[in-house]
Amino acid sequence: MLAVLRVGLLTLAVVMAAGCSGNRPPPPELPPLERNTTLGPGDLLQIDVVGEKDLPREYQVFSDGSIEFPYLDKVAVAGQEPQQVVETIKARLKEQKILVDPKVTMIVKLYASKSVSVIGQVQKPGQIAWSEGVTLLKAISQVGGVTQLANSNSVVLIRRTKDGRSLRVLVSLDGIIENQQADIPLQAGDTIKVEQRAF
């Protein structure tokens, strides 16, 4: 019963945190987020060509880093930014005289190639797909919340920097839930470890 209550409180906190003003203390000091939105195998893309309603809209990146796009066969996308892929598709549709002035848009629905690890005293330890805007609170909520054995005041965020260093920051989950501390945006590759309570 206690575990269910804590999961419910965590879910409520995610909703409340999204709508709260920025009057809370800042999160623990971390380097600026390294924004990495390049595509990789497993990513799910939504690609729309204006005026072409009969074309498929969703495309999953194959293990070889490509997608199959109507009229163009395979299009290599791995390692590229979404806008680069949009420009490639537009150029090839023009080159092959399929459309004179194609208008193409893309949304990345899922970055399956990028993940965040949530381990320790959580209901379902493991990896979740990273997405822009995911935070520490949202990530823990996605794995079912913390267990009865969790020390909510001892959550460790581990982040690897560009120069190869591994930073460890102690975070109070209770502080975030109670709006005493700002939630922490995550970057791909982060690890969250929820420590166990001492008895």
Least confident residue range of 13-22, 84-93, 138-147: 13-22
153-175 confidence digits (pLDDT tens)? 999 999 988 788 888 999 999 99
Query: Which of the four CATH numbers 3.40.640.10, 3.10.560.10, 1.10.1060.10, 3.30.1490.20 does domain 2-30+113-196 have?
Result: 3.10.560.10
> Does residue 8 register a pLDDT over 50?
no
Task: Give the tens place of pLDDT for each residue, 103-118.
Answer: 999 999 999 999 999 9
Query: What pLDDT score does 98 carry?
Result: 94
Confidence of residue 83 (pLDDT cuts 50, 70, 90): very high
Residue type, 87: E
Which residue ranges make up each domain of the chain? 2-30+113-196, 44-110
Confidence of residue 181 (pLDDT cuts 50, 70, 90): confident
The average confidence (pLDDT) of the chain is 87
Give the pLDDT of residue 28: 60
- Residues 57-64: what's their mean pLDDT? 97
Structure tokens at 105: 């848009």
Beta-strand ranges (E) seen in the chain are 44-49, 58-60, 66-69, 73-76, 104-120, 126-130, 150-160, 166-171, 191-196
CATH number of the structural domain 44-110: 3.30.1950.10
Task: Read off the pTM.
Answer: 0.73
